[in-house]
Chain A
C-alpha cells in the first residue's frame, strides 16, 4: 500500500511527522478519510479524534480541538490548536485521557461534537 506523509503541527510544536497509510480526520462537515494520492483539499477541522494507520499497521489516535487540514497528493498537513496523542508508544494512558478531556472541554465546538469526541476518546482508551 502506498504511503503518504502526515504532519500534525500545534503552536507548541510538531506532534506527529511520519509516513502513514491512512488517516481519518474530523472535518468541519463530517469525518473523512485520506489515502495517498488524494486530491488537493483544504478543510476546517473540528473537535474530535484523528485516527492514523501507520506504515507498520498500528493505529494511533490523536485528540484535537480545532484547526485546518491541507491535503495534497504527497502529504497531509494538519494545523491544529491543541492535540493530545492518546496511545502513542509507552505513554501514560490515564494522563493522556485526562489531558484529552481537558482539551476537548475547553474547545469552542458545539456540545454535541464534544460529547461524541469524548465518547470516542474513552472508547479508544478502553480498547488499548
Chain B
C-alpha cells in the first residue's frame, strides 16, 4: 500500500507544476498576440518587395540578361552557408528539435555530396546542441530570436552576402520555423541566395514598359536583392518567434491537461488508500472485540 503522506505530497507537487504551466501558457498567448501583430505589419513590406523584385527580374528575363549572380547561381555549389533559427528557451514542444533535425539532415546530405558547409546559428538552443556535438559554427547569435530587430538580422546576414558576392560561398540557406496559425507551425528551408526565380511571381507580373533609374539594371538589382535577403531574414525571425510562442502555448496547454489528469488519478489512489486504512483499522477493532467475547 502506498503511503498516504507520499501520495498527498505528490498531488500537491503536480498541482504546483500545473499552476506554472498554466501561467506559462497565458504568458505565451499574450506574447503571441503581440508578435502576430508585428508579423502582420511586416508582411505587407515582404509582399511588396517580392513584387518589386519579381518585376525587375521579369524585365531582365525579357532582355535575356537573367544570368546575374543573384538570380543564377553556380551549377554545382561547393560551399554552402546554412543559417538556422531556433529559440533561446526550451519548453516549447518539438519546436527546437524540429529545426535541429532538419539542419542535421541537410548537413549530412551535403557532406555525402562532398559539399563544404559553413554553419551559422541564431538562438541558444540550436547553438548549444551543435556546440555540444562539436560542430563548428562560423557565427552564433544569442538573444536575437527572442527580440528580432531589422538591424540584428542585417548584422547576421550581411557578412554572408558579402562572401557570396566575392564567390567565397555558392549558396545561402535559411532554416527556420514559420508561423501558420495558432495551432500550426511549419518548417521552412529557404534558399536565400541565389534567389529562386521560381519563387518570384514571374508570370503574374504585367509586362509594362519599365524605366529603371539608375540606368544600370545590375546596380538596382543588387541593392534590391540585398534588401530582399535582409528582409527575408528579419521576417523569418519574426515568424519563428510567433511559431515559438504558439508552439509553447500548445505544449503548456498539453502539460496542464496532463497534470490535471494526473491529479485525478492520484486523488483516486489517495482515496482508495485512505479507505483501505480505515477498513484495516475497523477490522482490527472488530476482531479485538470478537476476541473479548
With an 8 A cutoff between CB atoms, is B41 at the interface? Answer: yes
Asked if B213 and A14 sit within 8 Å, CB to CB, the answer is: no
Cβ A12 vs Cβ B41 within 8 A: yes
Complexed CA–CA distance, A73 and B209 (Å) = 11
Task: Report A-chain residues with C-beta under 8 Å of the C-beta of B41.
Answer: 12-14
Chain A contacts with B in 7-59, Cβ cutoff 8 A: 7, 9-14, 27-29, 39-44
User: Contact: A11 with B231, CB < 8 Å?
Assistant: yes
8 Å CB contact of A42 from B45, B48, B150, B213: B213
Known: A11-B234, A79-B45. A28 touches B208 (CB 8 A): no
With an 8 A cutoff between CB atoms, is A3 at the interface? no
A77 at the interface (CB under 8 A from B): yes
Residue of B with least CB distance to A43: B213
Interface string of B211-252 (1 = CB under 8 A from A): 111100000100110010001001000000000000000000
Measured CB to CB, the closest approach of chain A to B278, in angstroms, equals 67
Count how many chain A residues have C-beta atoms less than 8 Å from C-beta atoms of the other chain.
23
Q: B210 near A42 (CB under 8 angstroms)? A: yes
Q: Do A43 and B52 have beta carbons less than 8 Å apart? A: no
Task: List B contacts of A13 (CB < 8 A).
Answer: 41-42, 44-45
Residue B115 lies at the interface, judged by CB distance under 8 Å to chain A:
no
A14 touches B211 (CB 8 A): no
Measured between beta carbons, the chain A residues less than 8 angstroms from B210 are 40-42
Judge whether B44 and A44 touch: CB under 8 Å. Answer: no
By a CB distance below 8 angstroms, the chain B residues around A72 are 208
Closest to B40 in A: A13
A101 → chain B closest CB, angstroms: 18
Known A-B contacts A70-B52, A79-B52; the reply to A39 vs B211 at CB < 8 A is yes
Contact of A70 among B55, B214, B223, B231 (CB under 8 A): B55
Q: Which 8 A-B pairs have the closest CB atoms?
A: A13-B41, A43-B213, A41-B211, A40-B210, A40-B208, A9-B45, A42-B212, A11-B45
7 sample A-B contacts, Cβ–Cβ < 8 Å, listed by A number: A12-B41, A13-B42, A39-B211, A40-B209, A41-B210, A44-B214, A68-B223
